[in-house]
Amino acid sequence: MTSRITVRPATEDDVGLILSLIGRLAAYEKLSDAMVGSESALRDHLFGARRYAEANIAELDGEAVGYALFFHTYSTFLTKPGIWLEDLFVMPEARGKGLGKALLAGLAATAVERGCGRLEWSVLDWNEPSIAFYRGLGATPVDGWTSYRMTGGPLQALATSANAPG
């Protein structure tokens, strides 16, 4: 019997599932201690008055086994919107069945439909299975760019300086 793969937009009823899958992704990436989000914040950010992100759910024979969470970016060089894939995760027992490709293909279709010039994401350097998967789909690394992040105290300090007399 052939398995049936479906990809659908997440609904508000999926918030607990998505948070659970985020936890599984954090564990896979050895970053469980960094996961401090809540179901209520996720619900608000995905389905509240201002939606910061969107998610798609991958199902195998009707059972949710993966997700993609994404949001829009903007390229000034292209003068077009883009899509940033924040998370792509398929549960280990469901890998190798085409779910990751289905999630990315659906996201690529969304990007094309919305007139986006790019679909981008990051991958941890050590994650060779994912790197091989992405390269197999035709994705290429963006050489010459280094990502930066500001959180916690430095973020607060810089924000505070915006209101300080200059």
Q: Which domain holds residue 106?
A: 5-161
Q: Does residue 110 belong to any structural domain of this protein?
A: yes
Q: Does residue 75 belong to any structural domain of this protein?
A: yes
Q: Does residue 146 belong to any structural domain of this protein?
A: yes
pLDDT tens for each residue of 97-128:
999 999 999 999 999 999 999 999 999 999 99
Most confident range (mean pLDDT) of 84-88, 124-128, 146-150 is: 84-88
What's the rounded Cα separation, in Å, for the pair 52 and 50?
Answer: 6
* Annotation says 134 is catalytic: yes
pLDDT tier at 164 (50, 70, 90 boundaries)?
A: confident
Q: Does residue 11 belong to any structural domain of this protein?
A: yes
Contact yes or no for 133/90 (Cβ under 8 A): no
Q: How much is the pLDDT for 166?
A: 62
What's the rounded Cα separation, in Å, for the pair 35 and 25?
Answer: 10
Q: Which residue out of 52, 67, 134, 148 is catalytically annotated?
A: 134
Residue 89 has pLDDT above 90, yes or no: yes
Residue 44 has pLDDT above 90, yes or no: yes
The residue-averaged pLDDT of 39-61 equals 98
Q: Does residue 74 belong to any structural domain of this protein?
A: yes
Contact yes or no for 131/94 (Cβ under 8 A): no
The residue-averaged pLDDT of 31-37 equals 95
Q: Does residue 166 belong to any structural domain of this protein?
A: no
Contact yes or no for 69/53 (Cβ under 8 A): yes
Q: Does residue 80 belong to any structural domain of this protein?
A: yes
Q: CATH number of the domain at 83, please.
A: 3.40.630.30
Q: How many domains does the chain have?
A: 1
Q: What is the residue-wise DSSP string for the chain?
A: ----EEEEE--GGGHHHHHHHHHHHHHHTT-GGG----HHHHHHHHHSSS---EEEEEEETTEEEEEEEEEEEEETTTTEEEEEEEEEEE-GGGTTSSHHHHHHHHHHHHHHHTT-SEEEE---TT-HHHHHHHHHTT----TT-------HHHHHHHHHHTTS--
Identify the weakest region by mean pLDDT among 87-91, 108-112, 161-165.
Answer: 161-165
Kindly report the pTM of this predicted structure: 0.92
Q: Which among 114, 93, 19, 92 is positioned nearest to 57, based on CA atoms?
A: 19
CB-count burial class (<10 Å; 0-12, 13-18, 19+) for 143: exposed
